[in-house]
Amino acid sequence: MKTVVILVDGMRPDGLMDIPYAKTMSEMASFTMNASTVYPSVTLPCHMSLFHSVDPSRHGVTTNTYTPQVRPVKGLCEVLNDNGKSCAFFYNWEELRDLSRPGSLIKSYYVSERKLGFEEANRLVTDAAITSLTEDDPDFIFLYLGWPDHAGHWHGWMGEEYFHSVRRSWDEIERFMGELAKKNEEYTVFITADHGGHDRGHGADIPEDMIIPLYILGKDFEAGKNIEDANIMDIAPTVTKLFDITPPAEWEGKSLI
Ligand SMILES: [Zn+2]
């Protein structure tokens, strides 16, 4: 069994049902359109909480500039690495470079959107993750697609450009899932977001920013079933549960199995 977390930055749950592959996913996976992220609903704090299963008040990263934790909590990749599992990251927003500590990844692929644009950068990170399936065969893959957050900040959440970026992100998800299906390996795949957004921003304690979608596709997750009471901090403990690894005592999230 191996796991994949696919995160689409700034993806709000409302409107996803109009995307054919998202609808297909809601029929194949357990899912919720009502999971919570943490406050502040800002990209790096939310990702830190996803990977370290503690609230920002505990990990201490409250802006998009990483600061070392004062009382360090081990993150998902450190825990998996300690238990002999290999982890790989594919991302196109450089601030995420500190989500795992040096030495805990077998591959880290970053490409900047600055010259290429996010459409191409999303395609390249997906290509790299697909190549890694055969080259590295990681036990845990994190695939980050940054375009919708960028579209939201520039053009507004829930506008035409934003929806286009979300639809195209799902095209990349579908392409990746197609390659995953060709492998003779059992996977559990999480598809989620770090936060939502409204107008041209996010970070507030309001439902538009705080509510995120979560799909979990795998043999422990019944097709079409609603996931109750999910929080972004629950993803790491669910991954360790799938690997039958005891999570650190400090982790605040719960396993969704
Ligand atoms: Zn974000």
Distance 42 CA to ligand 1 centre (A): 6
Burial of 18 (0-12, 13-18, 19+ CB in 10 A): exposed
Q: Give residue 211 CA to ligand 1 midpoint distance, Å.
A: 13
Residue 25: CATH number of its domain: 3.40.720.10
Residue listed under structure tokens 């357990």: 30
196 Cα–ligand 1 center, Å: 8
In terms of residue numbers, what domain contains 140? 2-242
Cα 117 to the center of its chain, rounded Å: 20
Q: DSSP label at 221?
A: B
* Distance spanning both ends of the chain, measured CA to CA: 15
Please check whether residue 256 lies inside any domain of the structure: no
Per-residue pLDDT of the chain (257 residues; tens, 9 = 90+): 999 999 999 999 998 988 999 999 999 999 999 999 999 999 999 999 999 999 999 999 999 999 999 999 999 999 999 999 999 999 999 999 999 999 999 999 999 999 999 999 999 999 999 999 999 999 999 999 999 999 999 999 999 999 999 999 999 999 999 999 999 899 999 999 999 999 999 999 999 999 999 999 999 999 999 999 999 999 999 999 999 999 999 999 999 99
The Å distance, Cα 73 to ligand 1 centre, comes to 22
Tell me how far the alpha carbon of residue 213 lies from the centroid of ligand 1, in angstroms: 13
**How many domains, in total, are found in the chain?**
1
pTM of this prediction exceeds 0.85: yes
Work out whether strand 140-145 and strand 87-91 pair parallel, antiparallel, or are unpaired: parallel
In this structure, is residue 115 part of a structural domain? yes
* 185 CA distance to ligand 1 middle (Å): 31
Helix/strand/coil percentages in the chain, nearest 5: 40, 20, 40
Does residue 139 form part of some domain?
yes
CA distances, 39 to each of 56, 126, 137, 206 (Å): 7, 29, 34, 10
Give residue 184 CA to ligand 1 midpoint distance, Å: 33
